[in-house]
């Protein structure tokens, strides 16, 4: 089994850089041998190439859905109705990417988990996370690190997944 941890985001749009920040911090920690940590600024159909060949994929991204800034959720890919990188007139949603890959006979992950953090600001140019999102980034590093080490969903997020 091989796992990809994929931090998504835009490094110059404030809280939108969350996934990249978390991926960088996770990369500094000891990881199980079968785990690869990567960063990406792309979405839509371009995700197909990033996730193919892995057994499990853990995606980390900021999201604006009306929740409290800094709120962490853990979703399965079929529950995720993500932000602007996952669906627009020019791209397709994560679930569609996975389905298309399977239809094409590509080796697609059996499990895809998405950790989201409710963003405060994804429109202001800047490389700093807002205070609630920065705090959530630290919690996410611990939660994802624990899940990768144990293979078990964090109890504190089990109800959300």
Say what the pLDDT of residue 159 is.
Answer: 44
Strands 111-118 and 35-40: unpaired
Q: Is-contact 137 128, C-beta < 8 A?
A: no
- Measure the CA–CA gap between 14 and 23, rounded to whole angstroms: 16
- Residue 120 in contact with residue 7, Cβ under 8 Å? no
pLDDT value of residue 11: 87
What distance in Å separates the CA atoms of residue 26 and residue 54, rounded to the nearest whole number? 18
Burial (Cβ within 10 Å: 0-12, 13-18, ≥19) of residue 48: middle
Chunked into runs of 10 residues, the chain (161 residues) has average pLDDT values of 92 91 95 94 84 95 91 82 48 81 94 93 88 96 92 66 43
CB 114 within 8 A of CB 3: no
Q: What are phi and psi of 77, to 5 degrees?
A: -55, -35
For residue 123 the two structure tokens come to 């429109």
Give how far the C-alpha of residue 153 lies from the chain's centroid of Cα atoms, to the nearest Å: 15
pLDDT of residue 12: 87
E-strand stretches of 77-119:
111-118
Separation between Cα atoms, residue 33 and residue 13, nearest integer Å? 32
Domain boundaries, the chain: 3-160
Q: What is the pLDDT of residue 71?
A: 95
The domain covering 3-160 belongs, at the CATH homologous superfamily level, to HybD-like (3.40.50.1450)
pLDDT value of position 82: 55
Using CA atoms, how far apart are residues 81 and 2, in angstroms rounded to an integer? 25
């Amino acid at each position: 089994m091989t796992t990809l941890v994929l931090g998504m985001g835009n490094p110059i749009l404030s809280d939108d850089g969350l996934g990249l920040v978390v991926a960088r911090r996770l990369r500094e920690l000891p990881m199980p041998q079968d785990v690869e940590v990567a960063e990406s600024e792309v979405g839509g159909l371009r995700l197909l190439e990033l996730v193919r060949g892995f057994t499990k994929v853990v995606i980390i991204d900021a999201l604006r859905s009306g929740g409290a800034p800094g709120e962490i959720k853990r979703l399965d890919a079929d529950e995720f109705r993500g932000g602007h990188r996952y669906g627009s007139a020019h791209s397709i949603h994560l679930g569609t990417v996975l389905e298309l890959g399977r239809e094409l006979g590509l080796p697609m992950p059996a499990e895809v988990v998405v950790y989201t953090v409710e963003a405060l600001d994804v429109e202001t140019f800047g490389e700093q996370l807002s205070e609630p999102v920065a705090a959530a980034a630290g919690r996410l590093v611990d939660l994802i690190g624990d899940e990768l080490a144990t293979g078990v969903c964090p109890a504190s997020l089990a109800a959300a997944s």
